[in-house]
Amino acid sequence: MGDPSKKPRMEDDGLVFPPNPYLKKQEKDVLYHLGLATDKDDLPALFGDVKFVCMGGSPTRMKRFAEFIGKRLGLVQKNGSGPKDLCSTDRYSMYKVGSVLSVSHGMGMPSISILLHELIKLMHHAACTDVIFTRMGTCGGLGLAPGTVVITDSAVNEMFQPVYQMIVLGKQVNRPTKLSREVAEEIRAAYEPGAKYDVVIGNTMCTSDFYEGQARIDGAICDHTLEDKIEYLKAAYDAGVRNIEMEGTCLAAMCHKSGIKGAVVCVTLLDRLLGDQVNMTPEEHDEWEQRPQELMAKFISKRLKL
């Protein structure tokens, strides 16, 4: 596999170096779930200027974000056509607007893990520099009013530990989950106090399940009591957890392992201490879902000095 850059690559020049020595021995690299490959696509030409990789669960949401950030950055296409999906598969959707890549990651850690492996390699092959990975999404809050935006300080697992747990070769591997405090503070600084919602920085608990794994009592199966649930969620709150979702620890661990600055910005749809059902109106859902995108757009604009 040839080096996509035309100058010697140094560890401190902002380039992405996936921590896999076997990649250097491959003649080509197929990013199967994105539908890209190093032998058929000019990845540096297509993606070399990317600085912000923004991810969210839904393809529809990320297409809307691409359209939204295009307007904010003044990059709306003259012919009026919308952004083009750059994935030739139906696993994920990916849109590029200037230096911003808007990508859907599906639901849960297995889905975002597959995407992150291929996005990290894509940034490497494209010789991108100083890239920031961000997940924007929805979540359940703890002790917060619905509609509050939470910027993750530390991503923790169900035991409130800042690690991402996975099984490799039949053995459990624990990887630290470290996000960029610098980026988190910059995103919070982009918040305008006059906005209709609050922004907080707090710990985010990442689970492998939406129902039992998040102590819900409204799933098809439930072996714990309401009292068990409240006790557990209060313990999470006391550990600094302010929201619960299903991808944060994976993103934090993989970004840290690969030397990429990462951030997680999510809006709460309910206070889990008060209930389990997601009951907002469609209008409220659309407005609240937009809040992380608005905050990221302001952050990106400031970074680009626009």
Domain boundaries, the chain: 1-130, 138-280+292-306
| Residues 290 and 138: beta-carbon distance below 8 Å | no
**CATH code for the domain defined by 1-130:** 3.40.50.1580
**pLDDT confidence bin for 4, thresholds 50/70/90:** very low
Q: Give the pLDDT of residue 77.
A: 60
| Fold adopted by 138-280+292-306 | Rossmann fold (3.40.50)
Query: Cα(95)–Cα(77) distance, rounded to whole angstroms?
Result: 13
**pLDDT tens digit sequence for 262-299:** 999 999 999 999 999 999 999 999 999 999 999 999 99
Token couple for 37: 């490959």
Angle at 88 between CA 87 and CA 94, to 5 degrees: 10
Q: Please state at what angle helix 282-303 crosses helix 181-189, rounded to 10 degrees.
A: 110
Query: What is the model's pLDDT at position 1?
Result: 44
Domains 1-130 and 138-280+292-306 fall in the same CATH topology: yes
The answer to whether the CB of 141 falls within 8 A of the CB of 271 is yes
